Amino acid sequence: MTKYLKGWLMPALAVLMMYMIAHGGWYMWAPWAFVLTVFLSADLFLPHDLSEPPKYQNAFLLNLPLYTILPMLALLNFTVLWLVGSGDLLGFGAWVQQHIGLDLFAARARTNHWGMWAGCILGVGLMNAVGGTVAGHELTHRTGRPFDLFMGRWMLAFTCDTSFAIEHVYGHHVRVATPADPATARRGESFYTFTVRSTIQSYVHAYQLEKARLAKLGKSVWNPFASPFLRGNLENIAMFVAAYLIAGLPGLGFWALLAFVGKQYLEITNYFEHYGLIRVPGEPVQPRHSWNSNHWGSTNVLWSLARHSHHHAEGEAPYWTLHAYPNAPMLPNGYLGMLLIALVPPLFKKFMTPALNEWDEKHASPAERKLAQQVSRESGMTGLKIVNAKLA
């Protein structure tokens, strides 16, 4: 049964985060500090996870931790917004004090500095992303399972990004590593430029994809009964309405910040997962068109998201079946390390320049090398080698 425990690392992290947040004050920084310390340590000091996925007999036990994330996120974000507000909505504070022994009223009183709330936004925004978006990403790939799609899209609403379920599955996986893909960062492009471009273009592409699909069926993209795109936007709006009902205008503003920060965590991940990679449009997507990572924390806490090369080779494969692909292009650090590095463009380029040179030389096809020559010259990045496109 121990092989089923890996999927519960993220729910366990969510429970621990709720406990820390419920203490208020400067404890609001504890979730972020804990994740930063433990996650980075696991990636830096534990051996890379090159294990092959074992054979499982019970898929329900592997799906269950994914399904638990939605109620956990709802409880975590309700607690935070309760702390932002006043009074005791639904008698929540009194119930927690009586049955769990945590004094949320005292926690609210001691959280009296903007710096405390900043820690809360960073920590809870991270949980909404690594919990909600990663689990939502897994579930929305299961296009033939309505329950999984329902759960996954609501998880994505915690980062106000339900259109991701459309653009990622039907757009990104088709156009990855080409100029037509908003979620593939270009060589020389900083994260701060990328996140604006990716956010706007991905949303527009999701709309265009859904409009074209429904037009073939004689239906409108503005019909909520037919359009997942519109339903997703209504779900996003519902989250803002809920925040207002829980904590008034302060809650509305706070939720906007939470959703924004959570979305940025997603976009940073998008940024480094395919940074600078090249694919000839129309050619099959191969493992070489994604940066992979077998760092222990990134692999085991994030439901094997870091085994990204296999994911793009087989998009609907469940997380517990993904292989390590040790010969795929590798990120120089684990996911959390890359997230921090990406925030400093000169440092990110320093790490990724040798990685791109290796990709051009060892992984690219001759046609991709030819394209790489052009984009490398246009990138403005120093240190990129112009590899002979005729090399086999």
SS (H, E, C) the chain: CHHHCHHHHHHHHHHHHHHHHCCCHHHHHHHHHHHHHHHHHHHHHCCCCCCCCCCCCCHHHHHHHHHHHHHHHHHHHHHHHHHHCCCCHHHHHHHHHHHCCCCHHHHHHHCCCHHHHHHHHHHHHHHHHHHHHHHHHHHHCCCCCHHHHHHHHHHHHHHCCCCHHHHHHHHHHHHCCCCCCCCCCCCCCCHHHHHHHHHHHHHHHHHHHHHHHHHHCCCCCCCCCCCHHHHHHHHHHHHHHHHHHHHHHHHHHHHHHHHHHHHHHHHHHHHHHCCCCCCCCCCCCCHHHCCECCCHHHHHHCCCCCCHHHHHHCCCCCHHHCCCCCCCCECCCCHHHHHHHHCCHHHHHHHHHHHHHHHHHHHCCHHHHHHHHHHHHHHCCCCCCCCCCCCC
Q: What is residue 390's predicted lDDT score, i.e. its pLDDT?
A: 47
Contact of 65 with 8, CB cutoff 8 Å: yes
Q: Taking residues 92-119, what's their average pLDDT?
A: 97
| Whole-prediction pTM | 0.94
Half-sphere exposure of 39 (CA within 13 A, CB side): 25
* pLDDT category of residue 5 using cuts at 50, 70 and 90: confident
Contact of 263 with 159, CB cutoff 8 Å: yes
Q: What is residue 224's predicted lDDT score, i.e. its pLDDT?
A: 93
* pLDDT category of residue 367 using cuts at 50, 70 and 90: very high
Q: Taking residues 79-100, what's their average pLDDT?
A: 97
Q: Taking residues 53-57, what's their average pLDDT?
A: 84
Compute the mean pLDDT over every residue in the chain, rounded to the nearest whole number: 95
Please say if the pLDDT value at position 1 is more than 90.
no
Question: Amino acid letter at 280?
Answer: V
If one counts every other C-beta atom within 10 angstroms of the C-beta of residue 327, the result is 12
* pLDDT category of residue 351 using cuts at 50, 70 and 90: very high
pLDDT tens column, 21-50: 999 999 999 999 999 999 999 999 999 999
pLDDT tens column, 159-217: 999 999 999 999 999 999 999 999 999 999 999 999 999 999 999 999 999 999 999 99
* pLDDT category of residue 4 using cuts at 50, 70 and 90: confident
Q: What is residue 57's predicted lDDT score, i.e. its pLDDT?
A: 78
pLDDT tens column, 228-253: 999 999 999 999 999 999 999 999 99
* pLDDT category of residue 392 using cuts at 50, 70 and 90: very low
* pLDDT category of residue 3 using cuts at 50, 70 and 90: low
Question: Amino acid letter at 23?
Answer: H
pLDDT tens column, 106-126: 999 999 999 999 999 999 999
Q: How far is 316 from 57, CA to CA, in rounded Å? A: 19
**Radius of gyration, alpha carbons of the chain:** 21
Q: How far is 216 from 87, CA to CA, in rounded Å? A: 51
